[in-house]
Amino acid sequence: MTRALNWIFPHPLLTVMLAVVWIMLQNEFSAGMAVFGVILGIIITKITAIWWPERPGGMRVGKMLAYMLIVIWDILVANIQVAWIVLTKPNSKLRPAWIVVPLDLRQPEAITLLAGTITLTPGTVSADLSDEGHSLLVHVLHTEDPDADRDGIKERYESRLKEIFA
Amino acid sequence: MTFEVIGTYAVGLCLLIGGAFALIGTIGLLKFNDSMTRLHAPTKVGTIGVGAILLASVINSFVSGEGSMHELLIMAFLFVTAPISANFIAKVNIHKRACDTPPSPPRDDTWSTLAVPEADRSLADQNAKV
């Protein structure tokens, strides 16, 4: 039974997500559309399963929601800070810097989320991973103290992601 | 104050905020003078600028009585794809040495963009000279 289920749904979460996206694209809910969304979800996951053989590990949904709220708040605050820098700081006083963040996270999904978060919060862009994936290269627009920024990223985002994907 | 009036003011406010941040992002793009700092301006437009304008669209659709959820999808796809394009622009900058070369990582050999396979090394040296 579980093998049959695994064969039909190689990625159950992705199936659900594709169905939800399809229903939202229709912009109105009807039973026919929901069924068609699920069918699409099954076909697409089935076709792409060859390139994505393993399921990502579980995460804690409650902590993930809290993390998303924190990130949205940080985006708002950082936007205003960067807008202030853009409007008031002359180029000669700008101090951009590279920051190297050593990673404790090992799961690819967690590292991707961390890199995405860093890029979405204005003022920092994640630029590269080291060749074995043990550190993340981040570019900051303006910083007085690169070490404090690095510790801030580790404390605020990475420690939370570690709990989410524990 | 009816629901419509408050809604209309909310839509106007969101449009103003979105427009202002898009404008500031564009000013940043023009003002900064190297390719890595310029990269920071569009991330702002992509988050608050587009976010506020989409929020205005959602509120407007509910005020006019036909709720719309397309905007949430736009925002979700934008938030998923924006970091990837920024990451690729940054990688091109590092690869073409258009910015300061980053400090080497503490535990591994080098950054993945700078890691050139043994067989291609002479080619890479030639390109660096040109």
Tokens 């709720």, residue located = B67
Other CB atoms within 10 Å distance of the CB of residue B44:
27
CA angle, B30 then A129 then A65, to 5°:
85
Shared-domain flag, residues A35 and A109: no
Shared-domain flag, residues A97 and A76: yes
Residue of A nearest to B18 (CA): A79
Query: Does A69 reside within a domain?
Result: yes
Q: What is the spatial distance between Cα A102 and Cα B103, in angstroms, rounded to a whole number? A: 13
Residues of A with CB under 8 A from a CB of B: 21, 24-25, 27, 75-76, 79, 82-83, 86-87, 91, 94, 96, 98, 100, 102, 115-116, 119-120, 122-135, 137, 139, 141
Shared-domain flag, residues A102 and A123: yes
Q: What is the spatial distance between Cα A26 and Cα A40, in angstroms, rounded to a whole number? A: 14
Token pair listed for A15: 């199936």
- pLDDT, mean of residues B94-121: 77
Exposure letters A115-146 (e unless 16+ CB within 10 A, then b): bbbbbbbbbbbbbbbbbebebbbbbbbbbeee
Shared-domain flag, residues A66 and A94: yes
- Cβ contacts of B108 on chain A, cutoff 8 Å: 130-135
Of B25, B37, B94, the CB nearest to A127: B94
Query: Does A142 reside within a domain?
Result: yes
Categorize the per-residue pLDDT at B124 as very low, low, confident or very high, splitting at 50, 70 and 90: low
Q: What is the spatial distance between Cα B73 and Cα A148, in angstroms, rounded to a whole number? A: 36
Shared-domain flag, residues A74 and A43: no
Categorize the per-residue pLDDT at B127 as very low, low, confident or very high, splitting at 50, 70 and 90: low
Domain range enclosing A133: 61-164
Shared-domain flag, residues A85 and A138: yes
Shared-domain flag, residues A28 and A74: no
Q: What is the spatial distance between Cα B6 and Cα A107, in angstroms, rounded to a whole number? A: 46
**For position A79, what pLDDT does the model report?**
87
Radius of gyration of chain A (CA): 20
Of the given ranges (A2-11, A17-26, A114-123, B76-85), which has the lowest mean pLDDT?
A2-11
Shared-domain flag, residues A40 and A81: no
Shared-domain flag, residues A85 and A147: yes
Report ipTM (2 d.p.): 0.79
**For position A164, what pLDDT does the model report?**
86
Suggest the residue from B23, B70, B87 to mutate for an interface test with chain A (most A CBs closer than 10 A).
Answer: B87
Token pair listed for B29: 């793009």
Query: Does A12 reside within a domain?
Result: yes
- pLDDT, mean of residues B62-89: 84
- Cβ contacts of A21 on chain B, cutoff 8 Å: 73
The pLDDT of residue B12 is above 90: yes
State the pTM of this model. Answer: 0.82
Shared-domain flag, residues A67 and A121: yes
Q: How far is A3 from chain B (nearest CA, A)?
A: 32
Q: Which of A92, A85, A102, A79 has the alpha carbon at shortest distance from A141?
A: A85
Structure confidence by residue, pLDDT tens digits, A48-67: 888 877 777 777 888 889 99
Query: Does A45 reside within a domain?
Result: yes
Query: Does A100 reside within a domain?
Result: yes
Helix axes B3-31, A61-88, angle to 10 degrees: 60
**A130 — phi, psi (to 5°)?**
-75, 165
Instruction: Give percent above pLDDT 70 in chain A.
Output: 99
Query: Could you give the number of structural domains in chain A?
Result: 2
Q: What is the mean pLDDT of chain A?
A: 85
**For position B130, what pLDDT does the model report?**
54
Query: Does A33 reside within a domain?
Result: yes
CA angle, A131 then B79 then B26, to 5°:
95
Please, are residues A122 and B44 in contact by the beta-carbon 8 Å criterion?
A: yes
Categorize the per-residue pLDDT at A69 as very low, low, confident or very high, splitting at 50, 70 and 90: very high
Q: What is the mean pLDDT of chain B?
A: 82
Tokens 């049959």, residue located = A4
Categorize the per-residue pLDDT at A127 as very low, low, confident or very high, splitting at 50, 70 and 90: confident
Shared-domain flag, residues A24 and A42: yes
Of B28, B40, B103, the CB nearest to A98: B103
Helices (H) and strands (E) in chain B, counts: 6, 0
Q: What is the spatial distance between Cα B35 and Cα A118, in angstroms, rounded to a whole number? A: 18
A20: alpha, beta or left? (left if phi > 0; alpha if psi -120 to 50): alpha
Shared-domain flag, residues A67 and A148: yes
The pLDDT of residue B81 is above 60: yes
Q: How many CB pairs under 8 A join A and B?
A: 131
Query: Does A56 reside within a domain?
Result: no
Categorize the per-residue pLDDT at B17 as very low, low, confident or very high, splitting at 50, 70 and 90: very high
